[in-house]
Amino acid sequence: MGTELLAPLDLAFWHLESDAHPMHLGALAVFAPAPGVTPPHVLELLRTRAAAIPRLRMCVRDVLLPVGGAAWTVDKDFDVHRHVRRVAVGEGDFMAGATRLAGELMEQPLGRGLPPWQMYLIGGADDGPFAVLVKLHHALADGMRAVAIGAGIFDEIAATTARSAARGRPAVPPRSWLPDPREVAGMALGRIGEVGRALGVGASVVRAGRLDLRSTAFTAPSSGTRRLATADLDATALQRIRRAEGGTANDILLAVVAGALRRWMAERGEAPAATDPRALVPVSRRRPGGAVSGNRLSAYLLDLPVGAADPRERLRAVRGAMDRNKAAGPLKGAGAVAVLADQLHPLAHRFGAPLAANAARMLFDLLVTSVPLPRSALSLGGCPLSALYPMAPLARGQSLAVALSTYGGRVHVGLVADGKALPDLDRLAGAVEEEFEELRELVTGGRVAAPVS
């Protein structure tokens, strides 16, 4: 792998970052112990497998052309020991300690001169469970790409990769650097179409922008601190709710988040706001079998129906709004603001990043995203993966991001918050589980739920 220019959206994420606003995403993978597997063995396994992933050897360097651009280049001084480290949690509940420690580690920005990623082996007792925290800069990967990169540490994926490497890749016939004239015409038409879409998105952004930027729990000034919390939901119960109520599993999870926010706000003594909080719901623009490098994202905007007291009413509101979003498509509307980044010159990203970062509050209050995971059972050094909690980055001036993934019959929810703005994040995580159980009993158990006032 040689030199590769950063795609426009990757470049935007690279310049959006500051020490107080790190732009990395992550995941906390929790493993059950296996007989005879020691922490030093797991640490060495992590280092060996991470070093074998080509993308993790790449760092960002400025380039002369295009002016203001940057490129991925191989780090000639790459040392995996700089990136994979072991940290220990104290005595007590392992999961609570690992989550607290992961929050502290997520606060720390990634080194700009090195490949922008880190892994931490988080352990308690040598014969107990352990966790692996993975941090990847958003310029390096979006959610789906992060899964593809991070999966290389698992036994099942590493073994398949090794067998493929041993067999060798099929030879690719040499190709002239001059494109076929028909391809040139196709690229030109495609570019014109993208510019046209971008203009439409730009108009939608202006219409959707909110001038009333009153501070709320979700849009407090950033402190640079991070707090993490987790929740676990029953994936089988989720499918039962979906069959009974219709819509998608994601619709139900969004409605659960809305209900959890309502519960949490009530416990804090806050009445539901006159305007429902707006969520940014990322959508992948990747095509099956297409290139996997670079961020390929759009998004939908969704007003979470926190003001609705009835869980089913909230679900119907979410389902209707998401149906309208999908009918318009991921390349239309203000949520597709990432499409605009693909049309901007690198200099615009370099000098316009502060303005763009501060503009996020005009469009949305929090992020809610679903991250797909492999369905097969995974392990590390023979230790089975028991849970994987995804973690999304926080935009500047925003205090909460919620990410969800399904694995092993459970929906794992990772909540990332500004530590000073939301010190009671654990209570919000508990509200997610309570709201899901309330909806499950209401839909499948026949019990009438008491609305949360």
The pair of three-digit structure tokens given for residue 265, joined into one six-digit string? 């706000």
pLDDT at 274: 63
For residue 384, pLDDT over 80 is answered with yes
**What's the residue count for the chain?**
453
pLDDT at 149: 84
pLDDT at 338: 54
pLDDT digits (tens, 9 = 90+) for 101-145: 999 999 999 988 899 999 999 987 778 899 999 999 988 876 677
For residue 383, pLDDT over 70 is answered with yes
Classify 154 in phi/psi space as left (phi over 0), alpha (psi -120 to 50) or beta.
Answer: beta
**Residue 23: pLDDT band with limits 50, 70, 90:** confident
Mean pLDDT of 402-408: 95
Around Cβ 211, how many Cβ atoms within 10 Å?
5
For residue 448, pLDDT over 70 is answered with no
Order of strands, sheet of 366-370, starting from the edge strand that comes earlier in the sequence? 227-234, 410-417, 400-407, 366-370, 278-284, 297-303
User: Could you tell me which of 415, 437, 412 has the C-alpha nearest to residue 232?
Assistant: 412
Mean pLDDT is highest, among 195-204, 215-224, 244-253, 329-338, for: 244-253
pLDDT digits (tens, 9 = 90+) for 159-177: 776 665 555 544 333 333 3
The more confident residue out of 285 and 146 is 146
Distance, in Å, from the CA atom of 241 to the CA atom of 245, rounded to the nearest integer, reads 6
For residue 1, pLDDT over 60 is answered with no
pLDDT digits (tens, 9 = 90+) for 265-315: 999 888 766 678 989 898 775 554 444 455 555 778 899 999 999 999 999
pLDDT digits (tens, 9 = 90+) for 49-80: 999 999 999 999 998 888 888 999 999 999 99
Mean pLDDT is highest, among 3-7, 16-20, 224-228, 422-426, for: 422-426
CA atoms within 13 A on the CB side of 251: 24
